[in-house]
Amino acid sequence: MIAPTGGGIITGLYAGAAPLLLILTFLGFGAFFLRAWRLYRYMRLGRDEARIDHPWRRVRDELVVYLGQRKLLKRPYYVRGLAHAFIFWGFIVITIGTVDLLVDGIIGFHLPGAGNAVFAWTIDIFAVLVLASIAIALVRRVFFPPPRMHVALDGYVILGMIAILMITLLLFEGAGLAAGNLEKGFTPPPIAGAILRSFVFPGESSAVVFFWSWWTHVVTVLAFAAYLPQSKHLHIVTTLPNVFFRKQTPRGALGLIKDIENQETFGAASIRDFSWKQLLDGYTCTECGRCSDNCPALATGKLLDPQKIVLDIRDQLLRDGPKLLGDAKAETTPPAHYLESKPEELWACTTCAACVEACPVTIEHIDKIVDMRRHLTLMEGSAPPEAQRAMTNIERAGNPWGEPRETRGDWATDLGVPTFAEKPDAEYLYFVGCAASVDRRNQKVARALVKVLRTAGVSFAILASEETCNGDPARRIGNEYLWQMQAQRNIDTFKKYGVRKVIASCPHCFNTIANEYPQLGGNYEVIHALQLVDRLISEGKLKVGRGTAEAVAYHDPCYLGRHNGIYNQPRAVLDAIPGVQRVEIEPHNRERGFCCGAGGGRMWMEENVGQRVNHRRIEQLLAINSGATKVASGCPFCLIMLEEGVGAKGVQDQIRPVDVLELVAGRIEN
């Protein structure tokens, strides 16, 4: 705040103000900390989880994600994100000023740096920006409410309090300058000094305005502190630790159940089964609805609502918390979604990470959903029948299709592709994956990659019948036990042949081997086929010739894009093909790409509710009216789903799904 005169700001009020201010401060912040301590104790009812790895990355996240509000300012939320960011930044700056005001009012002492002109100017500029942003927020809430945002009285109360704080700040500064209660030894801030002092407070009225606006400001600050832990705007406080303690492991890596053979229970069925961080997520939800706005399952009429999942857990914690604090073994009811929306909402999730990507406060939705699936699958045996069949096939035959293990390498017989048993000194293992091994359409993609690798002189071999499913479908359906079994079998085979480098043409294989096998001691240099092709082209080891000119739309696979941040290299490969004009599926591309519907084990589950996700994706593709004759991807699941979609829509003669590898292989210059 603006510097007071010699006796402190209290000289502009009255002699007994300091004790009263001290009492009010104690009551306001006492109420805050009492409620906050209770909420912390509720949160600690969750199971322990270590979140202290990579401390410097966590500090970076605080600077970039929390203070920099990076996720708020991403498309398509620029304008409203900027308005919210100004409210947040202004809140931080003015909080510093408020602490200075209270300290000065009680003991007549300024925080270092808070009594100078630069700070005063900063305070006033942010006050005006915050008021403008609040006006935008109010107009948006009243006239253009987002479809998924929870617009409630609580939000208006908080916005109203913040507005009062900004207005009274400007009033008491301007009136204080006019009345001589504040120091005039420096240029006053633009709003309080130049406008209010000159035009609003003539004569003795300035002292009255100063008195009442100062006290209104202080009382509102303390009321805000007391009210905040009771409101959904608790995220103003909890976002800081939530960002700091967010996962530093790859987004595509699920948590490991350690010592699984000796575990008695699996997954989450009650509040105590969730980790403390998962419960902290509930406190931090802003109820903005961005996760739900971007969920492909909800968009196509499924029961799943990512925001509801998080809020159900929070509401259950607040209901059961008092009972559990009294008796840690007390019986509690299951999470609300088990009772109200049934497990079908959990099975609708494709684990595409659109919700995680969109969340401005780094809530981790997928981990909760998979933990609850683990309970349904391993404790209740209630996975959908088709998912049960896929897991049985993986356990029996090593692939979800149930094809015989010994035929896994038959697709490559006529190509003379060596196995590691035949070529133990091969530089790369090409981990073919289940789809390219047994699905005829994707076998063509595997053959295309073989052609590319041979042309570029890459040393590689396959495992053929010794390869087994990487375990991704089983793990995401919730069968952690089967995933660990499959993963360990592959790891043992890799160790047998001394495998160090792995090529995967399937993003699910890529993600699992690169990000999840290290949990079991399997550490390899893993590269997706399109990353390798991009490198081979840039190094001049692979030359692609000109073919028929055509427009090709690119579809981002979720497990290549959002889960692993690989957006540019597949596009670079397309751009390197002469005659190919790359088309973006706007606005649903890159981090906002729309799922094909096959992830999270959904490839092997029926989709009987609402519209099929892949059909919605084809509609988005057709809506851009780009003239594209092909839609290319880098994922076997996406290829299957896109082909089914164009067939169901009857547009297979208009647009043809392909893999980017097929486009490259078809134009290779020998």
Question: How many Å apart are CA 313 and CA 277, to the nearest integer?
Answer: 12
What pairs with residue 47 in β-bridges? 275
Same structural domain for residues 266 and 118?
no
Counted domains in the chain: 4
Same structural domain for residues 417 and 525?
yes
pLDDT bin (cut points 50, 70, 90) of residue 3 is very low
Q: What is the pLDDT of residue 184?
A: 46
Same structural domain for residues 597 and 489?
no
pLDDT per residue as tens digits for the range 485-518: 999 999 999 999 999 999 999 999 999 999 999 9
pLDDT per residue as tens digits for the range 366-420: 999 999 999 999 998 889 999 999 999 999 999 999 999 999 999 999 999 999 9
pLDDT bin (cut points 50, 70, 90) of residue 13 is low
Q: Domain holding 75: CATH number?
A: 1.20.950
In a domain, 74, yes or no: yes
Tell whether the model's pLDDT for residue 105 goes beyond 80.
no
Give 36's Cβ-side CA count (13 Å radius): 17
Average pLDDT over residues 600-608: 92
Would you list the DSSP string of 41-88?
HHHTTSBP----SSHHHHHHHIIIIIIS-GGGGSTT-HHHHHHHHHHH
Same structural domain for residues 69 and 183?
yes
Question: How many Å apart are CA 249 and CA 53, to the nearest integer?
Answer: 9
User: Among residues 532, 547, 582, which one ends one of the domains?
Assistant: 532
Q: Are strands 525-528 and 460-461 parallel, antiparallel or unpaired?
A: unpaired
- Type of residue at 77: Y
Same structural domain for residues 541 and 528?
no
Question: How many Å apart are CA 545 and CA 408, to the nearest integer?
Answer: 32
Same structural domain for residues 525 and 557?
no
Tell whether the model's pLDDT for residue 5 goes beyond 60.
no
Which of the 8 DSSP states describes residue 3?
Answer: P
Same structural domain for residues 528 and 551?
no
Same structural domain for residues 137 and 105?
yes
pLDDT bin (cut points 50, 70, 90) of residue 8 is very low
Task: Return the minimum-mean-pLDDT range out of 36-45, 66-75, 227-236.
Answer: 66-75
pLDDT per residue as tens digits for the range 177-201: 666 655 544 445 555 555 554 545 5
**How would you label 605-634 residue by residue, b for 16+ Cβ within 10 Å and e otherwise?**
bebeeeebbbbbbbebbbebebebbbbbbb
pLDDT bin (cut points 50, 70, 90) of residue 114 is low
User: Among residues 477, 500, 532, which one ends one of the domains?
Assistant: 532
Question: How many Å apart are CA 140 and CA 664, to the nearest integer?
Answer: 48
Q: What is the pLDDT of residue 577?
A: 93
Q: What is the pLDDT of residue 6?
A: 33
User: Among residues 379, 411, 427, which one ends one of the domains?
Assistant: 379
In a domain, 657, yes or no: yes
Provide the edge-to-edge strand list for the sheet that holds 501-504: 460-461, 428-431, 501-504, 525-528
Tell whether the model's pLDDT for residue 163 goes beyond 90.
no
pLDDT per residue as tens digits for the range 417-471: 999 999 999 999 999 999 999 999 999 999 999 999 999 999 999 999 999 999 9
Same structural domain for residues 172 and 291?
no
Average pLDDT over residues 356-370: 93
Task: Return the minimum-mean-pLDDT range out of 63-67, 238-242, 336-340.
Answer: 336-340
Higher pLDDT: 12 or 396? It is 396
Average pLDDT over residues 162-179: 77
Higher pLDDT: 23 or 42? It is 42
pLDDT per residue as tens digits for the range 131-162: 888 888 787 777 776 666 666 677 788 888 88
Question: How many Å apart are CA 509 and CA 505, to the nearest integer?
Answer: 8
Higher pLDDT: 279 or 98? It is 279
In a domain, 255, yes or no: no
Q: Identify the H or E element spanning 90.
A: helix 78-107
pLDDT per residue as tens digits for the range 275-295: 999 999 999 998 888 899 999
What pairs with residue 526 in β-bridges? 502
Same structural domain for residues 228 and 295?
no
Same structural domain for residues 60 and 191?
yes
Q: Identify the H or E element spanning 429.
A: strand 428-431
In a domain, 49, yes or no: no
- Type of residue at 117: A
Q: What is the pLDDT of residue 546?
A: 79
Q: How far is residue 59 from each of residues 64, 242, 280, measured CA to CA in Å? A: 9, 12, 19
- Type of residue at 501: K
CB 522 within 8 A of CB 487: yes
Q: What is the pLDDT of residue 550?
A: 92
Higher pLDDT: 546 or 612? It is 612
Phi-psi region of 504 (alpha: psi -120 to 50; beta: other; left: phi over 0): beta
CB 637 within 8 A of CB 603: yes
Q: What is the pLDDT of residue 207?
A: 73
In a domain, 1, yes or no: no
Q: Which residues have CB under 8 Å from 525's CB, separation 6+? A: 500, 501, 502
In a domain, 384, yes or no: no
In a domain, 388, yes or no: no
pLDDT bin (cut points 50, 70, 90) of residue 7 is very low
Task: Tell me what the pLDDT averaged over the chain comes to.
Answer: 86
Same structural domain for residues 420 and 350?
no
pLDDT above 90 covers a percentage of the chain that reads 56
Average pLDDT over residues 589-611: 93
Using only the alpha carbons of the chain, give its radius of gyration: 30
Question: How many Å apart are CA 430 and CA 419, to the nearest integer?
Answer: 10
pLDDT per residue as tens digits for the range 72-86: 777 666 666 777 778
Average pLDDT over residues 584-592: 93
In a domain, 600, yes or no: yes
CB 394 within 8 A of CB 484: no
The range of the structural domain enclosing residue 374 comes to: 260-379
Q: Domain holding 266: CATH number?
A: 1.10.1060
Give 155's Cβ-side CA count (13 Å radius): 16
Average pLDDT over residues 315-327: 87
Q: Domain holding 406: CATH number?
A: 3.40.50.1860
Q: What is the pLDDT of residue 88?
A: 81
Q: What is the pLDDT of residue 404?
A: 94
Q: Domain holding 579: CATH number?
A: 3.40.50
Q: Kindly report the pTM of this predicted structure.
A: 0.88
Higher pLDDT: 5 or 249? It is 249
Question: How many Å apart are CA 522 and CA 346, to the nearest integer?
Answer: 30
